[in-house]
Structure 1
Amino acid sequence: MKHTGFIVAIVASSIALTAGAALAQKPGGMQRAPISFEQADQDGNGEISKEEFASRHEARFSETDANSDGSLDRDELMLSGEKRLEERVDAMIERFDKNDDGVLSQDEMPKPRDSKRADKFFDRADQDDNGSISKAEFDEAQEHMGKHRKNKSHKN
């Protein structure tokens, strides 16, 4: 089935977007727990075949396809995304809740990874150096960033 890879990519993207937009990430981003070599080597022969590697993706698709109809509807994708989001929230609370009260205070929240980068962006956007960014400066900075991202994606 040629569409399986495409559908798996859509599922993975949907899940990543749902969870990624909702949570601050730890350095390097919070990723799915890595699979061990032994888990991937399903037949235990000491090597991972393409089929074994691909079956991981098929298994994820099957897990998401709650009604087993061979396709993923909006509800199934949302349920899968919500499950991943819940796992990420739990992991975030577990990681940052220093006083173990089950909630995150402002002091416990992760600090921005690169405040110098944010300062640099602000200084570039504040073209008249008045210490604030006007709507026009903001819009121009956004447009510049959009062009930069577009150029980067074409290079990859």
Structure 2
Amino acid sequence: MKKTALTLAFLFLAGPALAQATGDLTQQHFDALDRDGNGTISKAEYDAFMGEAFAKMDRNGNGTLSPQETTGILTVEQFAVVDANSDGRITREEFMTQVSQDFALGDRNRDGSLN
């Protein structure tokens, strides 16, 4: 996936104009995710933020994301990757599975946090 969930996270915070295809976070974005202010983003902090992002994107409140709800956030190709069962909807479970995979990729030293 070219835009990781990290990119999705700060797209959600700041809008598509600030997206960086590398998934690098600005200090402002990092600070928003680092809820306890300890200088690292734990898996729990990341999951909580991304769960909230899912809820905000789910504009109709039906528990799934349609392509229309992710326009400007995910490309068609990215949507297809997250939509693991290819039913044209992203469930919270599918979304959080991708989020977990993206977190693991970002956790380069495997200490359970992003820093």
- Is the helix fraction higher in 1 or 2? 1
Larger proportion of strand: 2
**What is the TM-score when the length of structure 2 is the normalising length?**
0.34
Q: TM-score, normalised by structure 1?
A: 0.27
Task: Kindly indicate whether structure 1 or structure 2 has the higher relative contact order, using CA contacts under 8 Å at least 6 residues apart.
Answer: 2
Q: Give the structure with higher Rg (CA).
A: 1
